[in-house]
Amino acid sequence: MPVISSLDKARRQRAIQLNVADRVRRVGQFVLSKLAQKRSGLGCSDTVDIPAAPLVVGINGPQGSGKTTMVRGLVDYLRAHKVSTVGFSLDDIYLTNAEQRNLAQTHTLNPLLQYRGQPGTHDVELGRSTLTSLIRNTGPTAIPAYDKSRYGGYGDRVPREQWTQAQPPVDVVLFEGWCLGFQSLDSAEFARYIERVHGDSVMYKYSRKFSDDNLAQVNANLGSYERGLYPLIDAWVWARAEDLDVVYRWRKEQEDELAAQGHDSLSDQQLEDFVTRFMPGYEMAMPKLDVCGFISSGIIPEHDTLRMHLDLNRNVVAFDHQL
């Protein structure tokens, strides 16, 4: 077994820190430019008594890609630029453990809905009401929270009295999630997807593990996200992984970190089952995102998406605005 010296470890950690810092700086500059665009387009000024609506930024990226770490860095970066910022996650609006168990019992034949993760396992109305309150910018907003370590790693929502209160005025809202931005396929698109699932392409090897009806239900569930959440989002940041097979490795690193901190975490077998249920969502949605981009409020006239291309080690190898 090769020996890694403390110096090598220090250099590697320093490289990771520099990569994260550069990512935060580049994304932070993008957010600041879009905030200026939104305020300019709406004719806002600092002399207006009523606070301007914040810029809402959706952040999409695979599990373990560093979304949460980046959001923490962005909050600090933007606050250093005197921009009041609130960040939360699609994970924070997962159904409660009791609601998830009820959903599983209602869909006993669909393994994709037995545990949290796929579209249909979030409280979209809670997300919409939270975003709407932040956009109104006239009073405190309770920010939901979710504890993934509860119930042996299957998680539960934190009691409401423990939620953080975001105080107005808020300039930027950062809302991140692994499937945030995924769009449903229409009947013709879904038929083509199912045809490929039944073929022999390795691009659909995870979808192949589930029935057409299982996949159709998840696809249908995306409609409420498109109607309830996406029209409230002004701009997007997309962490695009070059190979989705790396998701398991990235997610395991997260579980190992939870365990190291003394929290409950998933076993290797539980993790494999868990991630396998996520993967059809990527296979179903990513091709359409690559072609069509994201649904947004339409307030930002052009280049409302910053795409980061990630290698297998989460390094950003390119930025673009092609969508």
149: confidence class by pLDDT, cuts 50, 70, 90? confident
Chain centroid to CA 299 = 21
- Does residue 245 have a pLDDT over 60? yes
- Does residue 208 have a pLDDT over 90? yes
Mean pLDDT of 224-240: 97
pLDDT of the residue at 176:
98
More confident residue, 233 or 14: 233
Give the pair of three-digit tokens for residue 176.
């991140």
- Does residue 8 have a pLDDT over 60? no
The burial class, CB within 10 Å (0-12 / 13-18 / 19+), for 167 is exposed
* H-type alpha helices, 149-267: 150-153, 187-197, 212-228, 247-260
Give the pair of three-digit tokens for residue 225.
């996200």
229 within 8 A of 53, measured Cβ to Cβ: no
What's the CA gap between 226 and 221, in Å, rounded? 9
Q: What is the pLDDT of residues 83-108, one digit of tens each?
A: 999 999 999 999 999 999 999 999 99
CA dist list (Å): 104 to 37, 95, 97, 101: 44, 11, 11, 5
Mean pLDDT of 261-272: 80
**Omega prior to 169 cis, within 30 of 0:** yes
The burial class, CB within 10 Å (0-12 / 13-18 / 19+), for 129 is middle
pLDDT of the residue at 212:
98
More confident residue, 275 or 286: 286
Q: What is the pLDDT of residues 123-134, one digit of tens each?
A: 999 999 999 999
Question: b/e string for 242-255 if b means 16 or more Cβ within 10 A?
Answer: eebebbbebbbebb
* H-type alpha helices, the chain: 6-41, 67-80, 97-106, 124-136, 150-153, 187-197, 212-228, 247-260, 268-292
Give the pair of three-digit tokens for residue 68.
């949460």
Give the pair of three-digit tokens for residue 244.
């989705």
pLDDT of the residue at 273:
84
What's the CA gap between 252 and 112, in Å, rounded? 20
Predicted TM-score (pTM) of the model is: 0.90
Name residues whose C-beta falls within 8 Å of residue 283's C-beta, 6 or more positions apart in sequence. 197, 203, 204, 206, 207, 244
- Does residue 222 have a pLDDT over 90? yes
50: confidence class by pLDDT, cuts 50, 70, 90? low
Of the candidates 152, 147, 156, 148, the residue with the CA atom closest to the CA atom of residue 264: 152
Residue with tokens 């403390």: 6
